[in-house]
Homo-oligomer: A and B are copies of this chain.
Amino acid sequence: VASEFDIIRRYFTRPAPRAEVGVGDDCALVKVASGVELAISADMLVCGQHFFADADPLKLGHKALAVNLSDMAAMGAVPRWAMLCLALPEPDEAWLEGFSRGFFALTQEYGLDLIGGDTTRGPLNICVQILGEVPEGQALRRDRAKPGDEVWVSGTLGDAGLALAHAHGRIELSPEDAAACFAQLDMPQPRVALGLALRSIATSAIDISDGLVADLGHILESSGVSADVEFSALPVSAAGARHLPGEIAQQAVLAGGDDYELCFTAPAALATEVATLARRLRMPLTRIGRIAAGSGLRIYDAGGNPLSIGVGGFDHFR
């Protein structure tokens, strides 16, 4: 049986050129550039809650890091270093091989180093902490949206939620739609380049991990403003469009969570810059509404009637 130290050596020790000391001491040591703030985030993925027990380990390795990269994107930070803590029921070599491959494919793509962590026995649990750099004062926060700003989202909303609804037998997707939706659920592409470009454009940003209603709600609450959003303006995929206006699809779009797109606000005067950015990054950026004074999120249907939003975001204890 592989030992804890064998596992770390074999699967999780790679060169860490951006660290003074990487895996293998009590602490990792890194130098932070001057003139920057350090952005730090951590996410815990639990078997049975965030993924199925038979999930492809390669996809899990990808996703465990991707959800953290998405937090970097939402702050406009450049990801630099990651720590990985892993509880495993048993040291399954095939699983470790797949997981580490998925994980390191992303560290390589985004140029960050795995510098440490912990490996232990226990019910499968993956906890990743990520550290990045952002020039002082330039971080995208959620508390700076202003009345008059426009609200934007990247990509399309609801595909991950549709995949989950399909997996739970609550909706039936065609094989093609299922493939497209599960790709979004299992292999989300963090919007890091978008986050960096938004530093000079957006007044606030958040990643949509708990669903649009909850996450835009966080911006509104933190900024002390309200928003008016038109449901028909929300960007959906072909799969999403085929299942709207069904209730399950509507809920997936508004509150499905796991989308890992960015929701951001920008001054109306910068709408052209946002459109240019969408072309440059080759991703849809869609204007979905406008910030106003007051509080709360109002969503309207195509006829201008308020939609009742009985859908909160994803909450692990509700």
Contact = CB atoms under 8 A, between A and B. Distances in A.
Interface stretch (A69-77, A174-182, A266-274, A279-287): A69-77
Given A28-B40, A125-B87, A5 B120 contact: no
B141 A21 contact: yes
Interface stretch (A46-54, A100-108, A155-163, A297-305): A46-54
Interface in A112-133: 115-123, 125, 127, 129, 131-132
Residue from the set A24, A41, A75 with the largest chain B CB neighbour count within 10 Å? A41
A32 interface: yes
Contacts of A81: 40
**Which of A49, A72, A127, A205 gathers most chain B CB within 10 Å?**
A127
A54 B205 CA distance: 41
A94 interface: no
Contacts of A1: 317-318
A47 B123 CA distance: 9
Contacts of A308: none
A2 interface: yes
Give the number of times this chain occurs in the complex, counting copies.
2
A296 interface: no
Contact of A38 (B29, B49, B72): B29
A39 interface: yes
A118 B317 CA distance: 13
Contacts of A44: 85-87, 118, 120, 122, 125, 127
Interface in A59-106: 70-72, 74-75, 77, 81, 83, 85-87, 90-91
A222 interface: yes
A109 interface: no
A20 B44 CA distance: 23
Interface string A14-42: 00000011001111111110100111111
Contact of A120 (B7, B142, B316, B318): B316
A206 interface: yes
Nearest to A5: B315
A134 interface: yes
B121 A122 contact: no
A139 interface: yes
Contacts of A123: 46, 122-123, 125
A118 B64 CA distance: 13
A13 B171 CA distance: 39
Interface of A: 1-5, 7, 20-21, 24-32, 34, 37-44, 46-50, 70-72, 74-75, 77, 81, 83, 85-87, 90-91, 115-123, 125, 127, 129, 131-132, 134, 136, 139, 141-143, 205-207, 222, 315-318
12 contacts: A3-B318, A4-B316, A27-B40, A27-B71, A27-B77, A34-B34, A38-B38, A44-B122, A49-B122, A123-B123, A123-B125, A129-B129
